Amino acid sequence: SNADVLVNALRGDIAHFYRLCGGNIEYIGLLFSEMAKQPLPPQVICDLLGLDQIAVKTAFEAGQQPTATEEQLVNAVKSSVDPEDTLDMYAPIFARHVRRFENSRNVMAALRPRLEEFHRSIGGDVKRIATLFSDLTPEPQRGQPMPEGMINMLLRIEPKASTCSLADFLACLERNMDASDTADEIAAALRRHQPPA
């Protein structure tokens, strides 16, 4: 079948993506949403991967990150392929997601001490983090105040929390990084928002 042919051709890309995302269903969801050219709800991603929605919801609520196996990812890709689909509809999407992962990993590794210092110097203040993030947003939104509650949603912390942990701050930045973000740009923004010693 066309699905078997395409999945065999994509096998290396799928394996590379899987290694980088560790089976994290949130990242798999972003990949499939781009393939579908529309955001897919979590229950659709669970169905595609053959995961039990209640188990996934329970894991999320317990603060754990649900994961899929590589075989589940391969089967989900296979079930998404239509008879008329071609390799060039899939390969660039995998390449983009791999690039984003590799970039965010490299940027985070390069900036970790500065990010830790920034978080320490502001005491994890959510408002200060929101100002930093709005400075990192692409034009024309750059520098605009975030809607009420948005930063807490991005950080995945309680809606009323006024501070966040270092782990929450780092994970949020890494999750929201694009392939085009650079360590230099983020370092410059950190310097602009770093409180005076």
Backbone angles phi, psi at 180, to 5 degrees: -90, -10
| Cis amide linkage into residue 140, ω under 30° from 0 | yes
> For residue 61, is pLDDT > 80?
no
Q: What is the CA radius of gyration of the chain?
A: 19
What integer pLDDT is reported at residue 43 of this predicted model? 87
Please state the rounded mean pLDDT for residues 62-89. 91
What integer pLDDT is reported at residue 146 of this predicted model? 87
Tens of pLDDT, residues 35-47: 999 999 988 999 9
What integer pLDDT is reported at residue 97 of this predicted model? 93
Tens of pLDDT, residues 130-152: 999 999 987 777 888 888 889 99
Asked if residue 14 lies in contact with residue 70, where contact means CB atoms within 8 angstroms, the answer is yes
Please state the rounded mean pLDDT for residues 2-17. 93
Reported pTM: 0.81
What integer pLDDT is reported at residue 137 of this predicted model? 86
